[in-house]
Amino acid sequence: MKKKQLTYAALAALFLVGACKQEDLKLNPPPAVVPPVVVTPSKGTADFTKFVAIGNSLTAGYQSGALFDEGQANSLPKILSAQFSLAQGTTLAFNQPDIGSVYGFSGVAGPIVLGRLILYDADGVAGPRTASPAPVGTPGMPAPFNVGGTVPTAFTGDKTKLNNFAVPGILLGQALIPDTGNPASPFFNPLWQRFASAPGVKSILEDAVAAAPTFFLFDLGNNDVLGYATGGASNPLIFTSESSFTTQYNGAIATLLGNLPNAKGVLVNIPDVTSIPFFSLVAWNAIPLDATTAATVNGGFAGYNQVLDGIKGNAGLMAAFGLTAPGLDARKITFAASTKNAVVISDETLTDLGGAFDALVGAGAITAQQRTGLEPYRRARQTTATDLLTLTAGSVLGTTVGGNPLAINGITIPLEDRFVLIPSETTEIKARTVAFNNTIKAVADANPTKLALADANATFNALVASRFAIFNGITITPTMPPPTGVFSEDGVHPNSRGYAFMANLIIDAINTKFTAVIPKADLSKFKGTGLPVNKP
């Protein structure tokens, strides 16, 4: 060993000698120190003296499934106002309808008022389950998260001095009608009623105009696709049509510009909501089964799979219902001893096999009792990688239906439509988003001296494609898990750092359009999603 060490040392010495012979060592003076460029903030041709925001939950400071104090303190327009102050050269007031609650309100569970979501490991660090979003107040949570939330009450501040007119949960059209503040109306929203100047009499847009802004943020339209998407495309009543959106959006901006002739503003378009963590955190193949359980479940589906084979062997049934052998094979249900089994769902785009099942009963191929057992599987199949499960599906998969241990959601019973987006629904949502964004762009293009357009869709798509970005020494990712995720625990709304990221893309648009020099928010100064809380 010692001899080898000497050999290696000799070789190293020869290398160094050879290198010295090839080129003389030259000492260069150190490079000159270049002083940092000092940029003077400027408002350009914009005037931020009175900044007003109009939007929905994304503009209200909503995150983690609730509206609460810390979230409001880091709302998108609140962050923007702080940066506008630097450009305006004076501290600008930005008043919001404060909720006055540490944990906010996300619902009730019996006598318990639930607050914002946090990541909670319900069986402790040693348990097999991983942390998942759960509302503050969930039984078993340690202090201080055991206290729950607070039911929203009426805003008692000065409504005439408000700058933020964003209301969680509203569609674009609800900003234009007084009924949004009317408890007797189907369009009623209690979070608007709590700070409206004249509930049921004046609209959100009317109150915003009355605030006489010199500059406004208009960030509506997201909910016109989002609510439909997060509900598994199960409620078409909340999926705004292209024609209605165009009429409403043009009307809203015409009202703002017509009543505020000297004001300028920025419009924000709609990101692809199917790419948010709400649709990626629960995998399409999220069912873990051991060998014994898989064999038991497969035994239960043996009869169903045989019925599909029976239909395949009946040329008359195949022709009558327009069925194909590959299509029926794709509808067979099987499980394996694996942590990654596909979920059983009901796909409304599949041919309804109810008539074929009935025909088999008539032919004596199956009994009436067997036909009854087949009822849940008229359009059943297992998920593929093109299906998107909602984050809320995670709390349902594997639970029993009605307490029946044999009826298990996503395994023996198809998962409800509201928990999954099938490919045709995803395509529909994407197409509607493109159409809405075309309308927003057309409005901005028609008012080139008045309106900037912040392309949130392109910016978010770029972040999804790159998987990460680095700002102010902070790595961010387009997901929810800490420490890098920019989405909060609800998988839909950004966390405080995510809102700062949004603010900066809006600042870019304003700087470009109005030749302003607005400094960007420092992402390192804003919190991301909190680390999991463990059951004690």
The answer to whether 148 and 103 are in contact (CB under 8 A) is yes
Q: Which residues of 5-22 are buried (b: 16+ CB within 10 A; e: fewer)?
A: eeeeeeeeeeeeeeeeee
Q: How much is the pTM? A: 0.90
In Å, what is the CA distance from 99 to each residue of 71, 73, 149, 195, 207? 10, 11, 12, 10, 19
* CATH code 3.90.1150.200 for 51-277+424-534: no
In the chain, where are the structural domains located?
51-277+424-534, 287-382+388-421
> Which of 276, 266, 273, 277 is closest to 432 using CA atoms?
273
Query: What does the DSSP assignment read for 404-433?
Result: EEEEEBTTTBPBPGGGEE-HHHHHHHHHHH
pLDDT tens, the chain, 536 aa long: 333 333 333 322 222 233 333 344 455 666 666 676 667 999 999 999 999 999 999 999 999 999 999 999 999 999 999 999 999 999 999 999 999 999 999 999 999 999 999 999 988 777 777 889 999 999 999 999 999 999 999 999 999 999 999 999 999 999 999 999 999 999 999 999 999 999 999 999 999 999 999 999 999 999 999 999 999 999 999 999 999 999 999 999 999 999 999 999 999 999 999 999 999 999 999 999 999 999 999 999 999 999 999 999 999 999 999 999 999 999 999 999 999 999 999 999 999 999 999 999 999 999 999 999 999 999 999 999 999 999 999 999 999 999 999 999 999 999 999 999 999 999 999 999 999 999 999 999 999 999 999 999 999 999 999 999 999 999 999 999 999 999 999 999 999 999 999 999 999 999 999 999 999 999 999 999 999 999 88
The answer to whether 118 and 70 are in contact (CB under 8 A) is no
The answer to whether 118 and 136 are in contact (CB under 8 A) is yes
**At how many degrees (to 10) do helices 354-362 and 291-312 cross?**
70
CA dist., res. 69 & res. 62, Å (int)? 10
